[in-house]
Amino acid sequence: MARGRPSKKQHIIAVASQLFAKYGYQGTSIDLVVREAQVSKPTVYNNFPSKQALLQAVISEQSALAETIYDQTLSTDTELFSDQLQYLYQQLIENPVALAIYKIYYGESHKLDQSSVILCQKFESKLTHCCEQILIRARRNTAQRLAIVSIYKNCLLNYTLSGEKPLNAAELKQQLQVLGLTAIN
């Protein structure tokens, strides 16, 4: 293998990530991965014994990427928690593979085995935990944290997943102000 060139396994994961993002779990077959990755079927099955195993590799890779984004978000020094939450959710909704994981989790989890569902739940819980940490540092009580996270999740993630345009930062801050959950720490 040439230096700097991704392994076949990484190449298969990258191709599968794009296919899951485009076609979802049901619409992505191993045959499609083989064709798009331009590898043999035995090569795919030597690395991933099933489509579920391939999806799990994609989720694990996205979880590692998300962890980096969460660490960056928590390490930023800002006066407003809303800026951190906006950045966090913006990174998520601009990542088609992360969105695909949510679509698969919300819409196709009945097709997944328990270990895949657990990975999806862990992916989701990492986002929730990061939001909680931001809001704890902003000295928000439990009810406020739940309300604020719900607003961001609905107005950014859920809007995007349903094909609607997500609210921008100013609109989100206005939503917080209307509910008395000002964005100032």
Delimit the domains of the chain by residue range.
51-178
Crossing angle (nearest 10°) for helices 142-152 and 114-137: 120
Q: Residues 72-104: pLDDT tens digits?
A: 888 887 778 888 898 899 999 999 999 999 999
Residue 46 predicted with pLDDT over 90: yes
Q: Which fold has domain 51-178?
A: Tetracycline Repressor; domain 2 (1.10.357)
With tokens 């083989």, the residue in question is 34
Q: Please enumerate in sequence order all residues whose Cβ is within 8 A of that of 13, keeping only pairs 6 or more positions apart, or say none.
A: 54, 57, 58, 61
> What pTM value is reported for the model?
0.85
Q: Which two tokens stand for residue 6?
A: 């991704």
Confidence of residue 1 (pLDDT cuts 50, 70, 90): very low
Average pLDDT, rounded, for the chain: 89
Contact present, 120 and 98 (Cβ < 8 Å): no
